[in-house]
Chains A and B, each alone.
Chain A
Amino acid sequence: MMNNSIQYTVGIDVGGTFTDFYCAADGVAITTKTPTTHYDLSVGFMQGIRQLAEVHKLPFDAFLGQIVSLRYSTTVGTNVLIERNGPKLGLFTTAGFEDTIFIGRARSWADGLSLQQCRDQARIQKPEPLIEPEMVVGVRERLDYSGKVITPLQREEVLEKLQELVDKGAQGFVVSLLWSFINPQHEKMIRDIIEDEYPEDYLGSMPVILSSAISPKAGEYTRTMTAVVNSYIHGVMSDEINALANELRDHGYTRPLTLVHNTGGTKKASRTRAVLTHNAGPVAGLHGAATLGRLNDEHNIIFTDMGGTSFDIGLIEKGEIKTHEFIPVIDRWRTNIPAIEVKSIGAGGGSIAWINTLMDNAMEVGPQSAGAMPGPACYDQGGQDPTVTDADLLLGLYNPENYLGGEMLLDVDLAHDVISEKIAGPLGIDPLEAAWRIRRLVDARMGHEVYNEVSLKGHDPRNFILLACGGAGGAHACGYAPYIGTQRILVPGQSSVFGAFGASTMQIKEVWERSRAIRMYNWAEQKYLQDLAVFNSVVTSMKKSAIRDLKLEGYDENEIGFNLELEMRYGSQYKLTSVEAPALFLKNSEDVGTLCDSFTQRYSEIYSPEATFPSGGINVETFHLTASIIKPALSLQAADPAGPEPDSAALLCLRPVYWDPQQGFTDTPIYDYSLLRPGNRIRGPAIVEAAQTTYVVAHGWRFTLDNWGSAVIETATGPGDH
């Protein structure tokens, strides 16, 4: 029966293979997937919406009319960078610095690569530039470190260089001048000249992006690349998103399409900067983790997502997602966007195991991956290398006839043969032991990476719970958790569409950043800052920008919440340490002292008291103001709890599983997830099979289904064990 009073919230997350959909209404959710249509993402998008409408038994247009929120995590921008199909851009920069983006701080050949990938110095390469050298022009102008004009800009020269770029076929312009983040006067003059020459009503009108507008932060290479990447993906993204928005409108959707940002919020597509959509999917997943954490009263969470080719790691501290990337790299380009950090390493079900004959026949797993094509050998798609999925299958952890809900049949013999030939044979061990070693090694590697990521941020990973999602997260979490030291794992019921779930939980939020070096504690004079006006004027100006922007988004000033983080350092250190400001404005030197103390306290927690050096001078370098609109959080309906004993029908069978070489195969109970009830408990070893994922509950762990369909897997001696 049709119910046209129901209001739906939909989250959409585009992945490499599938586009995921999460649709919630009145606390009840359904999910679906469609193959990602890389040639035109909107095709898969609309198909997914149709599938949701069918499940709800609503006509397509009627269903769209009842959707109150569409939050979309898109990879349009990423695809533009991969396919290199962005526009031909022209870059205006300060004369004498035309090669800045090609020099790329020298090490741009290594940006976006792991340390291991950088070891072979004989074969290094810089990526193909997004702007060709002939499309870069220098204009005579110069500011010094304080923003003072040393060389004034010449209008005639700008006109001449503009004509040169237009003649060469420029389809858009980036303007990035030295020290423009302190004084954008020259950048604005160039924009005005271009717009005077090619006003909007001319066919030749082209977009002009200023580095000082897109990223008013110190560091000309990263600021320029932020503007370049944004400009490069802007046009294609704008076209695709507008076309999608129009199609949605044509079919009855009346609200704005909102896009998920890598800064941890969402905004209307029409008010989104393209560069902020890159890699938003994992950030959405991180938000989903925070939401589930709140339901489970867990506020310190390590988020992990194990897919076919990559393993993502993120962090939630005290319920907050606030760790920004130290050096955000988009594709192969360093930028300075305030992106939430989600680290990705090359480990997943498709990671290839191999023998390093030079190193005493040491076994290695990855970083090469069989990917989705040809995929693991057991997919029977031509894969010739043993992968983690092959190992899992051979060990009996996966049901070859019920993988991905039976959508893909797996061939155990192929897995056996490839592991025998390429691993067990050279090592002189049994293929099952080889499979066990593959699994153990990849688990250790992922666990170590997680440990490192968390500890680099100054936390003890053992004080966090582990949230494991992605296609292989549930199958491996008990394997990598011990290397992190965590005793409690949460595997969401929405695991396989977790990015889409996360997107549907995100709030309107935007981040404003500005670099301004202010000595809070002056080393030379050994005293605190007295003149607070500069500090407060920066905050005032950022706050004004935020209010203006969110008002245009349709929100009232009193709905906006503000949070100020300051990036600070001792002396001339490289790394800035983030400190949450106690208040937006400084009132007196006591406030300055409190802020400096907060910095030293935070520094001490991360790097040890021995490393602090307050008398060496303390600077604020970057202001980071977050403005959010707090709306009621997505509600999930809790199911009624049942007893700890699963229904007997849920136990499908006993299947031999090879847990370790000492015990060999052990008959292991296999459960059907769909027949379990909240509160049901299962002691490991056991396996729970769901349509899109497999939960592997190892020896010493206990599985409990919570009221929201997530698996809580704890050590038998861990918290909550009775």
Chain B
Amino acid sequence: MSKTSYGRDYEVVQRLRPEPVTDREQLAQGAVQDIDFDIFKHKMHMIALEGKETTMKLGASTAMRFGDVAFGIFTAQGDLAVCATGIYHHAVLGQIPLKYIVKHWADEASVGVREGDSFFYNDPFYGGVHNADMGLAIPVFHGDELICFVGAAVHTGEAGGTEPGGVITSARSKYDEGMLIPPIKIGENFRLKEDLLTMLGAMTRDERTMILDIKARLAAVRIAQRRIQEVVADKGVDFFIGALRKTLTVTGEAARKKIAELNDGVFRQPRFLDSLGTAPGLTKINLTVVKKGERVLLDFSNSSPMAMDRPINTYFQGLIGLTMVYFCGWLFHDLPANNGLLEAVDWKFPDNSLVNAKGDVSTSLAPLTQICFTQGMFLCGARMTYSHDPSRAVAAWFSGFAIPNFGGLNQKGEPIADLTPEINATGCGARYDQDGVDAAGAFFATMSDCSDIETTEEDRPFVYTFRNLFNNSYGHGKFRGGAGVGFGLMVHDTPMLVLGAMGGGTRFPTTLGLFGGNAVPPTFVQYVHNSNLNELMSEADSRLPNNLTAVYEAENPEQGDRHFNETNMTVRPFANGDTYYLGVGGGGGYGDAIEREPAAVIRDLRRGLVSHWAARNIYHVAYDGESLRLDSPATEALRMEVREERKKRGKPYDEFVEEWEQLSPPAELLTYYGSYPDPEAGLSDS
């Protein structure tokens, strides 16, 4: 009789740290010699790298082609031991579906886990983020013994929800999101099951991309499977099992050692989100990091409650996944990337919270909530590490998304549903000794790529009207954040297209500065129906904007039905010739803007990367408006004046608090916030 409950498994998702060492693993890892282990680690890394490259090469959706692929080798219990990626959260979270498979399907006669099987999943409850992130994993056997899993996970452009492109801003529950597939077997005996592929294809708007992405993942994991079996044939199965486990063990020890080197302390960074999906609203993600000894605790107490009919909820495991992005890329960049790192991390998530979704609530915009949180992790991490190694203290990269999503038919009449790739061109946060990098990538997928415009236009029905860096797109500071990229799209040569957007930070910044640095300015969408831009372009009108800043200047000759929208925008029809403008932001600033080298401000002015207003009112630099010649003495005087004014504005802390506590956002924005200012105030601990 089946013991399957058919419901979600709340136990298995808790198992993010390495599973207890089995007797077999214990025995085997004790016998692994140092030199053999050093060689093994490199070989496994090479296998993972080959898998990552193969997945990326063969994938078809935007994220697959220009994004980053999480490719991992997992122990037989499902723990991530080796990965090659910059999109670490998918790699680490890839363990949950495997632990699910081991728990539910290994001994289930109607399913089983056998050589030649392949498993697919996209339910974010197991994948941790949202349902456009899909994974495929296979078991690897030696004889009858399951020795490991190999898996590849990455965002596919379409998951069949009520809006195209895998992000449903209007979702009211998980049933608006489209496919929610828990880990299921989709192939046996080294063959994918055509009926299941047909079903998965039928559940989406662009079945071709869906199937190509699945096959890309499968091709890559099969190659890795062969490589692993060669290693086992060469070194023996005991060695393989022992060495794989040892990789986790030494990583965990190293992570604890590294944490122990930092000063103990409590670091707080409450984070706020301004969007509920289709409407504005304030919610709080209350992050407190407690570093003590060789461990850090992430405490999310006092965060906003679950948003019962909005898509901004996140599963707690997704936030741990995003924590790993920061750990692997910034804090533990010199350690292997696997979930052994979580041996140094504890977490506390309140029940019924926005950050601990349960039941049928939607998590379609969980990525937004998660990167909003990660920005807090950057800020806490910077304070936690500065005294030990200031080079680790980096202001956050842009944390607001700002992605167009679209669906319809392309210029060849083929169905399409996806995102554009500019999310991979955000600015990097400023550092203690230098500016951030302009258009550096996406912090959560650092090896990603914003594509060539020609590649996008080749099979997407757009003409980019511009794609350039734009001024003030970053946080100002002693060192400024890297600039972001603004772009304009004109819909072109399509019989049907809907276009929307996903992101946050329209009403207040999602990306704050560090140590006195400024935040990244808000982003929003502008679109123009019945635009005359096509005519203006055909006349080569010299007033047409070359960058996002120029779109908002008085000289812009474009006419039409102009609309402005917050960055979360539910899709709507667009006709040929309609235009759409958006920008991905830059990085947060570092340090006080009036400490910035005046020459650097002038350089940015010449480059068009800072406005005259900001140069005069934020940096307080004196210069000749035409020649841009710097007036150093006047600048120094201006800055002294600013310092004096600041002193005058100073007030005792208690007085400040008293005034501050009188303030509150409008009540209509607090519907989903919980009790203001402390969301959990008055609630019981349950």
Contact = CB atoms under 8 A, between A and B. Distances in A.
Contacts of A617: 208
A122 B58 contact: no
A2 interface: no
B105 interface: no
B459 A524 contact: no
Interface string B327-342: 0111001111000000
Given A106-B425, A610-B192, A121 B446 contact: yes
A221 B607 CA distance: 20
The residue among B425, B439, B544 with the most chain A CB atoms within 10 A of its own CB is B439
Contacts of A360: 250, 253-254
Interface in A114-165: 115, 118-126, 133-134, 138, 140-142, 144-145, 150-154, 157
A610 B219 contact: yes
Contact of A222 (B59, B452, B545, B547): B452
A15 B217 CA distance: 41
Given A106-B424, A574-B57, A140 B542 contact: yes
B412 to A, nearest CB: 7
A150 B58 CA distance: 33
A166 interface: no
Given A115-B84, A122-B330, A145-B458, A570 B212 contact: yes
B250 A362 contact: yes
A119 B449 contact: no
A358 B258 contact: yes
Interface residues on B, range: 35 or more
B145 to A, nearest CB: 23
A456 B250 CA distance: 30
B35 A440 contact: yes
A611 B58 contact: yes
Given A358-B257, A524-B413, A610 B190 contact: yes
Interface string B488-517: 100011000000000000000000000000
A105 B58 contact: no
B104 interface: no
B50 A524 contact: no
B526 interface: no
Contacts of B438: 102-103, 126
Nearest to A160: B542
A419 to B, nearest CB: 15
B1 interface: no
A448 B211 contact: no
Nearest to A358: B254
Interface in B534-550: 534, 537-538, 540-542, 544-547
A359 B451 CA distance: 37
A620 to B, nearest CB: 13
Interface string B631-671: 00000000000000000000000000000000000000000
Given A102-B438, A119-B329, A617-B208, A124 B412 contact: no
A153 B537 CA distance: 11
B60 A570 contact: yes
B463 A96 contact: no
A96 B467 contact: yes
A96 B546 contact: yes
A363 B254 contact: no
Interface in B399-439: 411-414, 424-425, 428, 431, 437-439
Contact of B39 (A138, A441, A574): A441
Nearest to B118: A610
Interface string A647-662: 0000000000000000
B58 A218 contact: no
Contacts of A107: 424, 441, 446-449
A441 B38 contact: yes
B453 A178 contact: yes
A122 B458 contact: no
B147 to A, nearest CB: 20
A519 B211 CA distance: 19
Which of A121, A123, A157, A452 has the largest number of chain B CB atoms within 10 A?
A121
Contacts of B596: none
Contacts of A448: 39, 42-43, 46
B537 A150 contact: yes
Nearest to B465: A96
A573 B58 contact: yes
A99 B39 CA distance: 43
Interface string B31-61: 0001101110111001101100110111111
Interface string A441-452: 100110011011
A440 B39 CA distance: 8
Contact of B454 (A103, A121, A220, A449): A220
Given A144-B463, A572-B209, A610 B412 contact: no
A537 interface: no
Contacts of B86: 118
Contacts, number: 274
A420 to B, nearest CB: 17
B455 interface: yes
B250 A359 contact: yes
A607 B453 contact: no
Contact of A142 (B251, B334, B469, B537): B537
Contacts of B545: 96
A178 B464 CA distance: 10
Interface in B314-334: 328-330, 333-334
Interface string A516-537: 0101000110000000000000
Given A119-B329, A142-B463, A364 B447 contact: no
B441 A106 contact: yes
A455 B227 contact: yes
Contacts of B412: 519, 524
B104 to A, nearest CB: 24
A100 B440 CA distance: 13
A102 to B, nearest CB: 6
Contacts of A612: 215
B62 to A, nearest CB: 9
A16 interface: no
A122 B57 contact: no
A608 interface: yes
Contacts of A122: 329-330, 333, 391-392, 394, 431
B222 A573 contact: no
B565 to A, nearest CB: 22
B580 to A, nearest CB: 14
A154 B539 CA distance: 10
Given A98-B546, A144-B493, A218-B455, A118 B446 contact: yes
Nearest to A356: B334
A110 interface: yes
A463 B334 CA distance: 36
Given A105-B450, A140-B544, A179-B454, 12 more contacts: A115-B447, A121-B446, A138-B546, A150-B534, A359-B254, A362-B250, A441-B38, A449-B46, A573-B216, A574-B57, A575-B57, A610-B190
15 contacts: A102-B469, A106-B450, A110-B447, A138-B546, A145-B458, A219-B452, A219-B455, A356-B334, A360-B250, A437-B38, A445-B42, A517-B458, A524-B414, A573-B59, A613-B211
Interface of B: 34-35, 37-39, 41-43, 46-47, 49-50, 53-54, 56-61, 64-66, 84, 86, 187, 190-192, 208-209, 211-212, 215-216, 218-219, 222-223, 227, 250-251, 253-254, 257-258, 328-330, 333-336, 391-392, 394, 411-414, 424-425, 428, 431, 437-441, 443, 446-455, 457-459, 463-469, 485, 488, 492-493, 534, 537-538, 540-542, 544-547, 606-607
Interface of A: 95-100, 102-107, 109-110, 115, 118-126, 133-134, 138, 140-142, 144-145, 150-154, 157, 178-179, 218-222, 326, 356, 358-360, 362-364, 427, 437, 440-441, 444-445, 448-449, 451-452, 455-456, 483, 517, 519, 523-524, 570-575, 607-608, 610-613, 616-617
Q: Which 5 A-B pairs have the closest CB atoms?
A: A96-B466, A575-B57, A611-B219, A121-B329, A574-B65
